Structure 1
Amino acid sequence: MPLRPHRPLPLATPAGVEVLTRILTQGPIPRVEIARRTGLSQAAVTKAVAPLIEAGFVTDQAVPSAELDGGGQIGIGRPVSPLTVVPHSVSVIGVKVTPTALIGVTTDFTAGIRNVCHRPLESTDPKSVIERLAELAKELIGALKSGAETVGPVVGVGVAVSGDVDERHGVVRDSPFMGWRDVPVAELLGRRLKLPIVVTNDVRALTVAEHWFGVGVDADSFAVVTIGSGIGCGLYINGEVVSGAYGVSGELGHLPLAPGDLVCTCGRRGCVETVASSDAILNRIRETTKQPTLDLAGAIKLAHEGDEHAREAFDRAGEVIGSALAAMVNLVGPELVVIAGEGVAEYDLYEDRMRQAFGEHAFGAAGDCRLMLRSHTFDDWARGAAATVIRAYVRGEPPLQR
């Protein structure tokens, strides 16, 4: 049975969920503006928000309306009571899992990071990783309790892992980077922590964070493309982050756009990642320069110095990434693509070729889609895992059912 959060939200109706979501993602926001954006009456908004204010999740403080923007104004100088979430009313833990480290954060209700903790992994064996995950979560909880600030109870733990993840059941079905197949992370970690556990694909978690607390707040549609050791894509279309009927969506890195003689880490041939991931670029430069011990920093330095072999590897990566972006934009039509991840450090080396290939293959008005660079650290990935917990908590989704 799903665990109940230690501090359940007083939300009894879909209208209450909608109102709290607006306050959380768009606040401070007056009741009149929530009514306008949701189509609810002001009386319905007031009814939905009253128990949230009484329980300490939301607050309203009068400020001059001139301090608000857009539709929030109801008359210059006239006092209004914008609604805002009380950040410290709850706490959330998010963890990004990589083959070499666990990156953990504690956030407040607005996904603001309070504490950060990085711990190395000596093994990717599932049992060992779960034990280290539990230890890290307990350490972060202990830091919350010992801190001087007022903090709310931990309502759940989010875990972000690369690969094919069954979010509903908390199972990592296939993660080539971790070497995992059918690992019941939520069940194993939940036994140790006695807290709700949300397990999700790492790029999808990053997309949820952008949807609720980043560029997606005001966007009708967008995609997040991550470039690094792997290449991932999260999609926000028609008002929701796309999960896919079978839990798989946005696998940009596994589109078959590269030469068919190249074998991917997933075992298939011709995937975008075989040419455009940071590992693929480095291996190509090592091979063509006859420098087998070269590291990525050295490869980037060679490319910046104009080495033709290094430049060729980055140009080839830019060509394939641009083609993959065009294919994705042609299919789903987002207004914005955010390019993020550890691979953005060398973005300038393939940007021109990527944009050229995108322009060549984007169909019609799809070429108007904006490509925006947004730097992310591993802490941001962990924050994304926490954001998935916040979303499930507000919506009352498994495993945080009310």
Structure 2
Amino acid sequence: MLDIQKIRADFPILSEKVNGKPLIYFDNGATSQKPQVVIDAEAKYYQEINANIHRGVHTLSQLATDAYEISRVKLQHHINAKFSHEVLFTSGTTHGINLVANGFASILKSGDEILVSSLEHHSNIVPWQMLCEKTGAVLKVIPINEEGELIISEYESLLSEKTKIVTVNHISNALGVINPVKEMIAKAHAVGAAVLIDGAQAVPHLKPDVQDLDCDFYAFSGHKMCGPTGTGILFGKEEWLNKLPPYQGGGEMIKEVTFEKTTYADLPHKFEAGTPNIAGGIVLGTAVDYLNNIGFGNIQLQEKKLLEHATKRLLEIEGLRIYGNGKNKASVVSFNIDGIHPYDIGSIIDKLGIAVRTGHHCAQPIMNFFCIPGTIRASFSFYNTKEEIDEMVEAVKKAKNMLS
């Protein structure tokens, strides 16, 4: 059992007040809060070893390089990648997806097909639409049912020898539904298609095993898993990363440059042009250590309790509907109250110190499916409590009474 109060003491912001009320932070799907050890690690880098990496023979450069590459190996082990050079540092999930989509421009031809799901964040839709415009490939969409689950029989019927890549999120940011990605990957591979998994919403809740999943690419952000903003990881199988061209040109990603010809560096540097977010990359390793010390089994147990409690309590409110009621869910509750705009609820409970997300959550196709403008999304982390949920429920009731 986790000592939640002890864990909460690790997060300085959780003792803050907002609008004169103790902060209740239920916007973890947008970004998680940071423990003191992560904040301290960021400051330590700039105070003690700030230097550019991979390029200097002086001591600080070597220390910074070592710390950066140690973090890469931590991330390799965390996701169970076969090689550390399959782990690319990025600025976040969006960067990783765009890197892959850009690379596939050299592979796809007119008439080839890309499959995305109806559950995707805009970051996993728009890059593929841009790719289709560039190559003449066709975007196909895997539909969902009323529970917010992907219809796997429809997915199977969309797969064909024309399918070149399938890209789907591990967990829906808007609904919290956990997709059967391992099954989907196997089905895609059966027709010769590559698979990219958007793991942005999964990594705060579970440890992805990329070898067990057998995905070709897995992208995620650091800031949703207690790490700094502007950090992320793209895992790519060695064979695929060798096949794709560089995403950006510049320093670090080259082996030799002349005005006649440039040759590219080996993995992972081929995809890491320019000076990276060195501090962020190092501190992302610190965040991973912190989460692993707590234990993802413990995290999942705590968050399961929070999800069950929130679902039960919210459904006590007359006229409240929860969207995304699949059998497998992460700790996200997306809901509306009949006749009331989600923004109005969110604004009122913010005055009571409660932070939730309102709107379409960069997932407009989901909202279009349910014929709604958006939802109120409460997304929970392991440092949240049932008591906070009870306070949110009372605040929502108060807001409902004010707006009815």
TM-score (norm 2): 0.24
TM-score (norm 1): 0.24
Q: Choose between structure 1 and 2 for higher RCO, CA contacts under 8 A separated by at least 6 residues.
A: 2
